[in-house]
């Protein structure tokens, strides 16, 4: 027999807009977060929604939020499901609201260099709509084939071209948002204003905790006249890091900077030391004369710091493969029919951390990480930089039975980044994975956000448990 809420959901959305069967509940139990990442409370999580709902209009989203409020039921916005921090996980049950049926490209304005798209539109589809107008979206994460407009705004994600175009939040001009009580809010889609704090920023990176984004007006960029791709190998991480710092000190900002070293590799005999050295992938795009000058000056800087340019197709291969992981993720999820958090994960445990720290602290921080991870029986598999010298990443690997050691090492590293005046995450959002460290990250600022949350969402129905807000 249907509950009162389920009957109301079906009346609002139709029978094909609501599911409560085990298959739907298993598929929507999480985004791409896995328990083996090693974070407090992971073992106690048993996520599953009571319902999955698929609205097709703003009016239906408003109706869903009014019903959720009336019944004090959590509601979790869901996009492509490729988030890595549990931001779309129904950790407290309730409804998962899959917005991907709201995928219309409403308008493209070449004169204004803008596109207005609904929250469920996949980034690849936005680019396809822009291409006939010789435009493209400056946000280019690895998840372009699956990530949605609403999801990437809600996490303020960063992409391969972030050095030139910024994060997804930097592409946002205006937002259409449904608040917890069903109120529809539209912000003005202008490049700037001076009429008080910009409300866009409350929802950019807000992970659906303050309102549900249903559409956005985004900046569109001209398809570049020229794109040049370069790969440079350095003898060690420090050499390439100093080269990146020298570029930025001169005002050279390549469209893409992807730099890393691999310390541990997997062979048939298990994990072992990787070959020494570090590789930097660079992209320059824009006017032909400008990209040529940028490339020449950057190569000179890299050479002066011990770098050697790859003469083959390595840079092009890297560029061509950058979206393959998302395609594999989507295929694996479709074939398994099960959310990643519920899938068995045998073998070594892996975690990845993406921190922003002052450039002056990057090399000392790297040395500190090597020392601290060894104390916990954990290895650093990779170090890297993305887009800027301050954006520092690492991948950790630990034996299958060492989840506690991995969690301890991860937290120590994240907290040390905070102590250096940095931030514990620059690309994926905090979600559930980092919620326990949000008081340390924001200090009194977290209470400010909690106050706004209580004002906008007094019944705490919007994505509870995320960002440390509830």
Given a contact cutoff of 8 angstroms between Cβ atoms, the answer to whether 170 and 204 are in contact is: no
In a domain, 397, yes or no: yes
Q: Determine the Cα–Cα distance for residues 393 and 257; give it in Å rounded to an integer.
A: 13
Single residue among 98, 126, 142 that ends a domain in this structure: 98
At 271 the pLDDT is 66
Say whether both 394 and 255 belong to one domain. Answer: yes
Among 300, 317, 314, CA closest to 252: 300
Say whether both 244 and 392 belong to one domain. Answer: yes
Cα-to-chain-centroid distance, residue 297: 32
In a domain, 178, yes or no: yes
Q: Determine the Cα–Cα distance for residues 372 and 297; give it in Å rounded to an integer.
A: 38
At 39 the pLDDT is 87
Say whether both 72 and 16 belong to one domain. Answer: yes
Number of domains in the chain: 3
Cα-to-chain-centroid distance, residue 372: 26
Say whether both 29 and 131 belong to one domain. Answer: no
- 3-class SS at 252? coil
Cα-to-chain-centroid distance, residue 266: 26
> Which residues neighbour 226 within 8 Å (Cβ) at sequence distance 6 or greater?
284, 285, 286, 287, 288, 290, 291, 292
Q: Determine the Cα–Cα distance for residues 258 and 378; give it in Å rounded to an integer.
A: 24
In a domain, 426, yes or no: no
Single residue among 98, 117, 140 that ends a domain in this structure: 98
Given a contact cutoff of 8 angstroms between Cβ atoms, the answer to whether 209 and 77 are in contact is: no
In a domain, 268, yes or no: yes
Say whether both 281 and 313 belong to one domain. Answer: yes
Q: Which domain holds residue 68?
A: 4-98
Parallel, antiparallel or unpaired: strands 95-98 and 114-118 = unpaired
Say whether both 36 and 137 belong to one domain. Answer: no
At 166 the pLDDT is 96
Say whether both 57 and 87 belong to one domain. Answer: yes
Say whether both 195 and 236 belong to one domain. Answer: no
Say whether both 192 and 313 belong to one domain. Answer: no
In a domain, 448, yes or no: no
In a domain, 36, yes or no: yes
At 41 the pLDDT is 86
In a domain, 431, yes or no: no
Given a contact cutoff of 8 angstroms between Cβ atoms, the answer to whether 370 and 396 are in contact is: no
pTM check: above 0.85:
yes
Given a contact cutoff of 8 angstroms between Cβ atoms, the answer to whether 179 and 65 are in contact is: yes
At 274 the pLDDT is 80
Given a contact cutoff of 8 angstroms between Cβ atoms, the answer to whether 47 and 95 are in contact is: no
Say whether both 151 and 115 belong to one domain. Answer: yes
End-to-end, the C-alpha distance of the chain in Å comes to 32
CA atoms within 13 A on the CB side of 4: 5
The tens place of each residue's pLDDT in the chain, 470 residues long, gives 679 999 999 999 999 999 999 999 999 999 999 988 888 888 889 999 999 999 999 999 999 999 999 999 999 999 999 999 999 999 999 999 999 999 999 999 999 999 999 999 999 999 999 999 999 999 999 999 999 999 999 999 999 999 999 999 999 999 999 999 999 999 999 999 999 999 999 999 999 999 999 999 999 999 999 999 999 999 999 999 999 999 999 999 899 999 999 998 766 666 678 888 999 999 999 999 999 999 999 999 999 999 999 988 999 999 999 999 998 988 888 889 999 999 888 888 999 999 999 999 999 999 999 999 999 999 999 999 999 999 999 999 999 888 899 999 999 999 999 999 999 999 999 999 999 999 999 999 999 999 999 999 999 999 999 999 98
Q: Determine the Cα–Cα distance for residues 149 and 135; give it in Å rounded to an integer.
A: 17
In a domain, 455, yes or no: no
Q: Determine the Cα–Cα distance for residues 330 and 334; give it in Å rounded to an integer.
A: 6
At 269 the pLDDT is 63
What CATH number did the domain enclosing 344 receive? 3.40.462.40
Say whether both 56 and 172 belong to one domain. Answer: no
Say whether both 309 and 367 belong to one domain. Answer: yes
Single residue among 166, 195, 222 that ends a domain in this structure: 222
What CATH number did the domain enclosing 44 receive? 3.30.43.10
């Amino acid at each position: 027999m249907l509950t009162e809420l389920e009957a109301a959901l079906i009346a609002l959305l139709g029978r094909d807009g609501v599911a409560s069967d085990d298959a739907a509940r298993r598929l929507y139990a999480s985004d791409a977060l896995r328990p083996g990442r090693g974070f407090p409370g992971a073992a106690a999580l048993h996520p599953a929604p009571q319902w999955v709902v698929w609205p097709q209009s703003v009016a239906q989203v408003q109706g869903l939020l009014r019903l959720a409020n009336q019944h004090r039921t959590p509601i979790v916005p869901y996009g492509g499901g490729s988030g890595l921090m549990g931001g779309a996980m129904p950790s407290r049950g309730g409804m998962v609201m899959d917005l991907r049926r709201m995928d219309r490209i409403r308008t493209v304005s070449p004169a204004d260099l803008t596109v207005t798209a609904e929250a469920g539109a996949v980034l690849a589809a936005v680019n396809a709509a822009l291409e006939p107008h010789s435009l493209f979206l400056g946000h280019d994460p690895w998840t372009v084939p699956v990530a949605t407009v609403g999801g990437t705004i809600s996490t303020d994600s960063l992409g391969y071209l972030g050095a030139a175009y910024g994060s997804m939040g930097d592409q946002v001009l205006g937002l259409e948002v449904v608040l917890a009580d069903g109120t529809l809010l539209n912000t003005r889609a202008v490049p700037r204003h001076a009429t008080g704090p910009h409300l866009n920023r409350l929802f950019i990176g807000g992970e659906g905790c303050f309102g549900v984004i249903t559409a956005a007006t985004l900046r569109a960029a001209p398809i570049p006249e020229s794109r040049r791709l370069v790969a440079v190998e350095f003898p060690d991480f420090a050499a390439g890091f100093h080269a990146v710092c020298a570029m930025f000190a001169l005002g050279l900002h390549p469209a893409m900077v992807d730099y890393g070293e691999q310390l541990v590799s997997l062979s048939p005999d298990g994990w072992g030391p990787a070959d020494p050295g570090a590789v930097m992938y660079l992209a320059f795009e824009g006017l032909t004369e400008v990209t040529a000058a940028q490339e020449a000056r950057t190569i000179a800087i890299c050479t002066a710091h011990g770098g050697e340019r790859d003469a083959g197709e390595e840079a092009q291969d890297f560029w061509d493969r950058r979206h393959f992981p998302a395609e594999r993720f989507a295929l694996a999820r479709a074939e398994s029919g099960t959310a990643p958090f519920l899938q068995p994960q045998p073998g070594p445990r892996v975690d990845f951390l993406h921190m922003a720290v002052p450039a002056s602290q990057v090399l000392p921080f790297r040395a500190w990480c090597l020392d601290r991870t060894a104390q916990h029986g954990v290895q650093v598999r990779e170090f890297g930089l993305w887009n800027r010298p301050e954006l520092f990443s690492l991948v950790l690997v630990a034996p299958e039975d060492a989840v506690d050691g991995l969690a301890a090492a991860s937290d120590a590293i994240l907290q040390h980044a905070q102590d250096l005046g940095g931030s514990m995450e620059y690309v994926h959002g905090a979600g559930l994975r980092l919620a326990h460290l949000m008081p340390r990250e924001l200090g009194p600022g977290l209470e400010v956000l909690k106050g706004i949350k209580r004002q906008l969402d007094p019944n705490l129905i919007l994505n509870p448990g995320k960002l440390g807000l509830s």
